[in-house]
Amino acid sequence: MATPAFARSGDDATTDAARELAERYAPVVGLQTQREPCGPGEPYLPTSALEVTEQPGVMLRDASGRVITEAPSAADLAAASDDWHIDYPGDALRPGCDFERWLRSLGPPATAVHARVVVPADHPDRVVVQYWFFWIYNEWNNLHEGDWEMMQLVFEARSPEEALASSPISMGLSQHEGAERAEWSDVQLRDERPVVFPAGGSHAMFFDQDRFLGKSADAGFGCDDTRAPTTFVTPEVIMLPAVDAVGDDAWLQWTGRWGERHPSFKNGPTGPIDKGSWDDPIGWIDGARTHSLRAPDFGNDVTDFFCTATERVSLLLVHWFDTPWLFASTLLAVIAVFVLVGRRTRWSPRVLQPMVARRRSGQIVASAAALLVRDRRRFAPVMTAVFAAGLLAALVRQVLLRVAVFGDANRLLDGDSVSQVFFALLSGAIVVVPVGIVAASVSTAIAVRTDGAVEPQSIRTLLRDRGVWSAAVFVVLFAVLLGPLTFVIGALVVARWGVAPVVALRQRRVAGSLRRSASLSKGQRVRCGTLLVSAALVATLLGPLLGSLILIAVGTSFGVVNVVSAAVSAITVPWLAIVEVMLHGDLLSRTEDATTDPTTDPAGDRADAAGAASITV
């Protein structure tokens, strides 16, 4: 360890100048507002580490989990072994509201931060002020008891007295296993104090308010959110010794865990003295990043998918790893399902024509892709429209961000998240949804006509046909019902009426199309629902998923990611339409219904599908 230029004994400050310096620049902390107990927002305040450990119900445990003492004091921690840990009341992996309720039961929370002033021996021309934040619980993509974060100021000075006569030259903030730094001139101030924004749940520290993407241990894996509404607090400063802690401060020498022990990212953290920034504060800030990756707002498909997916998968992994038998059985079940499905279907030969032909589910998937490649010129206008819509949607979001009213959307409606959701949906849906509906309907019409001998009709001609708009009605219906709130109902509806858009292209009557689809799918509904829902999920999620993977693997710009996502959707939308048409043709070929009603006659349907001259679409 570096030899301290300033130290303290007991409750005496290191020097009056050191205390004055630490208190002058004590940070203003912007927390995400929690409007009601156990509701959204940041439920915890940074506080004194000892204030929460010296409480009934808090246990100091040894490596085997045996309780050593309750409500451990500073002396208990100073004498504790490095493989011991603190255990707070509550379930670390299934927190619910337990930790929050426990803290509230202790009375009004005290907001505090531990401060340290040091002149590093290897940089005698620098004065460093560190502020160590302790949080009782970390509830983010990783869950664990106890959380230490740090803010650091660097002065070009040789003593606290010199530092008081100047201003900081730089500032650093801890973020997960990494850090970010900024020049003092770029730091946001409030009442001449630096403002920091801990991300909701993770407490990673940021210089301003936004949603930040992380794809490594250094920046965290997931999305840190510091956006409004915000509650600002100024913690009380508790001085720490510069290096060697003795007496009442001897607890700092303990390198055990400040939270319950668990594997990997669920483990309680070690204390300040075990961090690299304690021994080498200048090296730590010099190695920090100069920026954090911001997530585009207003409903960006890729970033929304990435943020939601990392959150859900991370929490799922927490529970899986907590119950190894569940993780193992789930993994085996998934593998078994894929193997079973793959073996029960047939993927070849690919049957591109005629549309009305027997095909297994695997053949439909493969044949649809092959047909799209072969007839790419037929589908090119639709693919171009979908691609352009994806790029236009990204452009609309950026334009809205530059409009003052929309650019401050997080503060609308008193900062309520409803405003953000509304404008996110508006900016994305205003372009992508209408184009997607029309593209899917037109692609279905084109796929139906691939058996014909005539030249493909223009998009303008197809859009004049009432049958295309009848098909669009079902596309809208299925899209709504397959949303997250009604997915199960939507899957059942698709299983029964999934080929109704194809029928509607010929009948043009919505009710008749529903009846005909139900008749064709009878006895095949599990297969129909599984195939169409799976294909719809691929068409919807493959673009954002690939964009997220590129973001993680390459770290490219969001412009490139959006282009990739739009390009993938341009392929998957017409492919989904072809899958639906081929499924309809397969059901026709299997039916034994033979009536003279021209709206239900399979032979008539076969003739319509086979002869372009007899189809008006």
| Predicted confidence (pLDDT) per residue in 293-340, tens digit | 776 554 455 566 667 766 666 666 655 555 666 666 766 776 776 677
In a domain, 272, yes or no: yes
pLDDT given for residue 232 in this prediction: 96
Mean pLDDT of 234-241: 92
Evaluate whether residue 326 is within a structural domain: no
The reply to whether 236 and 367 lie within a common domain is: no
Q: CB of 540 within 8 A of CB of 498?
A: no
Asked whether residue 344 is assigned to any structural domain, the reply reads no
Token representation of residue 270: 């070690």
Q: Are residues 378 and 284 in the same domain?
A: no
The DSSP annotation for 333-357 comes to HHHHHHHHHHHHS---S---S-SSS
pLDDT at 182: 97
Instruction: Give me the domain span that covers residue 451.
Output: 353-614
The percent helix, strand, coil of the chain (3-state, each to 5) is 50, 15, 35
Give the residue carrying structure tokens 């405003």.
419
Quote the percentage of the chain above a pLDDT of 90.
34
Q: Provide the residue type at 396 as one letter.
A: V
The residue among 294, 313, 335 that closes a domain is 294
Going by C-alpha positions, the residue among 264, 329, 315 that lies closest to residue 141 is 315
374 and 280 fall within a common domain: no
Per-residue pLDDT, 11: 34
Q: What is the pLDDT of residue 438?
A: 78
| pLDDT tens figures, 583-606 | 988 898 888 543 434 434 443 344
Are 357 and 273 within one domain?
A: no
Distance of CA 559 to the CA centre of its chain: 19
Question: Helices 510-521 and 500-507 meet at what angle, rounded to 10?
Answer: 130
State whether 290 and 360 are in the same domain: no
Provide CB contacts within 8 A for 562, sequence distance 6+.
300, 302, 390, 391, 394, 547
Q: Given the structure tokens 């859900």, which residue do they identify?
A: 312
Q: Is the per-residue pLDDT at 24 higher than 90?
A: yes
Label the pairing between strands 211-216 and 205-206. unpaired
How confident is the model over 418-433, as pLDDT tens digits?
A: 334 344 444 445 556 6
The answer to whether residues 280 and 393 belong to one domain is no
Q: Which of 248, 268, 294 finishes a domain? A: 294
Q: Are residues 384 and 481 in the same domain?
A: yes
The pLDDT value given to residue 366: 92
Residue 465 lies in a domain: yes
Instruction: Using DSSP bridges, classify how beta strands 28-32 and 193-198 pair: parallel, antiparallel or unpaired.
Output: parallel
Angle, in degrees to the nearest 10, between helices 301-322 and 558-590: 80
Q: What is the three-class DSSP state of 4? A: coil
For residue range 81-136, list pLDDT tens digits in order. Answer: 999 999 999 988 889 899 999 988 988 778 999 999 999 999 999 999 999 999 99
If you average pLDDT over each of 192-206, 314-328, 502-516, 561-575, which comes out highest? 192-206
Judged on CB neighbours under 10 Å (0-12, 13-18, 19+), 290 is: exposed
Domain assignment present for 302: no
pLDDT at 184 over 50: yes
Residue at 2 is within a domain: no
Long-range contacts made by residues 538-541, C-beta under 8 angstroms, separation at least 24? 538/572, 538/576, 539/569, 539/572, 539/573, 539/575, 539/576, 541/305
**The last residue of a domain, from among 294, 311, 327:** 294
**287 and 372 belong to one structural domain:** no
pLDDT of residue 589: 87
CA dihedral in degrees (257, 262, 263, 264; nearest 10)? Answer: -50
Residues 265 and 359 in one domain: no
CA angle 87, 93, 98 (to 5 degrees): 70
The pLDDT of residue 442 is above 90 = no
Q: Is residue 204 domain-resident?
A: yes
Query: Does the model's pTM come out above 0.75?
Result: no
pLDDT of residue 599: 38
Q: In whole numbers, what is the pLDDT of the chain averaged over residues?
A: 78
d(CA 557, CA 61): 47
360 with 264, same domain: the answer is no
What is the distance, to the nearest Å, from the Cα of residue 219 to the centroid of all Cα atoms in its chain? 14
Predicted local confidence at residue 594, as pLDDT: 38
H and E: helices and strands count for the chain:
22, 17
356 near 606, Cβ under 8 Å?
yes
Per DSSP, 598 falls in state: T
Number of independent structural domains in the chain? 2
- Mean pLDDT along residues 149-162: 97
pLDDT of residue 246: 65
Ramachandran area for residue 247 (φ above 0: left; ψ -120 to 50: alpha; else beta): left
pLDDT in tens, 512-529: 787 888 888 888 888 888
**What single-letter DSSP state applies at residue 113?**
E
Does one domain contain both 248 and 386? no
Task: Report the pLDDT averaged over residues 486-493.
Answer: 74
- The residue-averaged pLDDT of 372-400 equals 81
Q: 79 in a domain, yes or no?
A: yes
- One domain for residues 284 and 379: no
Q: Write down the pLDDT at residue 198.
A: 96
